[in-house]
Amino acid sequence: MEKIIHRYKGKGFKLTPQRLAILKFLEGNNEHPTADEIYTGLKNDYPTLSVATVYNTIETLRDRGEIAEVTIDPERKHFDPNTTPHHHIICMECKRIADIFEDYTSEIALPQEVVEEFSVAGNHIDFYGVCRECRG
Amino acid sequence: MEKIIHRYKGKGFKLTPQRLAILKFLEGNNEHPTADEIYTGLKNDYPTLSVATVYNTIETLRDRGEIAEVTIDPERKHFDPNTTPHHHIICMECKRIADIFEDYTSEIALPQEVVEEFSVAGNHIDFYGVCRECRG
DNA sequence: TACTACCTTAGAACAATTCTATTATAATAT
DNA sequence: ATATTATAATAGAATTGTTCTAAGGTAGTA
Ligand SMILES: [Mn+2]
Ligand SMILES: [Mn+2]
Ligand SMILES: [Zn+2]
Ligand SMILES: [Zn+2]
């Protein structure tokens, strides 16, 4: 909380109550919530919060590189406050997304012709599986 | 073409002209088109084709595992007639998607705690870069 | 206080996708 | 061949996720 305030007290980004609430909601949250889940999770405490502000804020944060957009679920976008490069596994049943903190970059060297065609900036691995709970 | 007919002449899937056109459009297509690109690419030759039929068909094909849905582009879904496991790289400028035919599965072993929690079924790597053309 | 820049809000607009009701077609049985 | 049935195609409506717009609101500065 102190850390959040300190972190975002730079110029060009006003720390409004709404933004602070969204940042607090995301801080340390490893559930990879959707925009609607952020909104639903906050609207009781912030009844005047609008869904547009949630989208505005997560878009701003995403553009500033403060949060990451997770594309593993074709149904909707998920957001991740952890921007250190890492990978994800999704349960194909319940759509729960978990983190994988391994750096495989040196293991996944690209073939010559791809390296010649593209300047490669990064990678992200989607793993697919079924979680323990969904296996019963 | 002969191959397509042969392949899909199984029961439970009628090979109608519209479906055949969509299959022909996708066959060997490594551009990873969107639903709209499929529709746009066919509507001159099939003026009565509806966008709903494109969606119906690609959904059916996807559910049957005949085509794959590519999630690398957060903006829209792309489709891929190549269902052999492979990876993709997207140009962050022009959004062009290219194939990477390498199997990294044995290089990207998951940590113990993830394997205990999930039964892993597969993986897909998104690479991000900038293509030669976009670098000028 | 006045000014400026930025933010929030509600709701409209939008684009991608899915659903619905109707009609058409193909496969099967008679 | 004809009738029956099952499935597909169509147009357009509806839905969903997301972005935009216009109207205030608020914080920081002069
Ligand atoms: Mn994560
Ligand atoms: Mn591909
Ligand atoms: Zn699960
Ligand atoms: Zn490019």
Number of domains present in the structure of chain B: 2
Looking at residue A3, its pLDDT comes to: 72
DSSP track, B107-127: GSPPPHHHHHHEEEEEEEEEE
CB A62 within 8 A of CB A79: yes
Q: Are residues A64 and A93 in the same domain?
A: no
Please answer yes or no on whether A69 and B69 come within 8 Å at the CB atom.
no
Note the pLDDT of residue A124. Answer: 97
Domain span at residue B55? 2-80
Confidence (pLDDT) at B105: 96
Q: Are A54 and A10 found together in one domain?
A: yes
pLDDT computed for residue B13 by the predictor: 79
Boundary-marking domain end, from B34, B55, B80? B80
Give the one of A74, A116, A123 whose C-beta lies nearest to B125's C-beta.
A123
The CATH number of residue A97's host domain is 3.30.1490.190
Closest by Cβ to B127, choosing from A73, A120, A132 = A120
CB B78 within 8 A of CB B32: yes
The per-residue pLDDT for A12 is 65
Structure tokens at A108: 């996944």
Residues B60, B112, single domain; the answer is: no
A10 CB inside 7 Å of strand D? no
Residues B74 and B13 in one domain: yes
Proximal ligand: closest to the CA of A130: 3
Please report, for the domain that includes residue A31, its CATH number: 1.10.10.10
Q: Are the C-beta atoms of residues A104 and A115 closer than 8 Å to each other?
A: no
Positions in chain B short of pLDDT 70: 1-2, 10-12
For residues B70 and B111, membership in a common domain is answered with no
Q: Quick one: pLDDT at residue A34?
A: 96
Contacts of B98 (CB under 8 A, 6+ apart): A114, A117, A118, B30, B88, B89, B90, B131
Residue B73 sits in the same domain as residue B105: no
At B8 the pLDDT is 79
Q: Does A28 lie in the same domain as A61?
A: yes
The answer to whether A11 CB sits below 7 Å from nucleic acid chain C is no
Q: Residue ranges of chain A with pLDDT lower than 50?
A: none
In this structure, the answer to whether residues B32 and B99 fall within a common structural domain is no
CA distance B60 to chain A (A): 16
Nearest ligand to the CA of A94 is 3
